[in-house]
Amino acid sequence: MPFDQTVTFLYSSDLEATAQFYEEILELPLVRDQGVCRIYKSSRDAYLGFCTHLDKTPLSRNIILTLVTNDVDTWYAILLAKGVEVTDLPAHNPKYQIYHFFFKDPNGYTLEIQRFDDALT
pLDDT digits (tens, 9 = 90+) for 2-45: 888 999 999 999 999 999 999 999 999 999 999 999 999 999 99
Task: Delimit the domains of the chain by residue range.
Answer: 6-116
Task: Judge residue 39's burial from the number of C-beta atoms within 10 Å of its C-beta, 0-12 exposed, 13-18 middle, 19 or more buried.
Answer: buried
57 within 8 A of 64, measured Cβ to Cβ: no
Tell me the fold of 6-116. 2,3-Dihydroxybiphenyl 1,2-Dioxygenase; domain 1 (3.10.180)
pLDDT of residue 62: 78
* Nearest to 49, CA basis, from 35, 68, 60: 35
pTM greater than 0.95: no
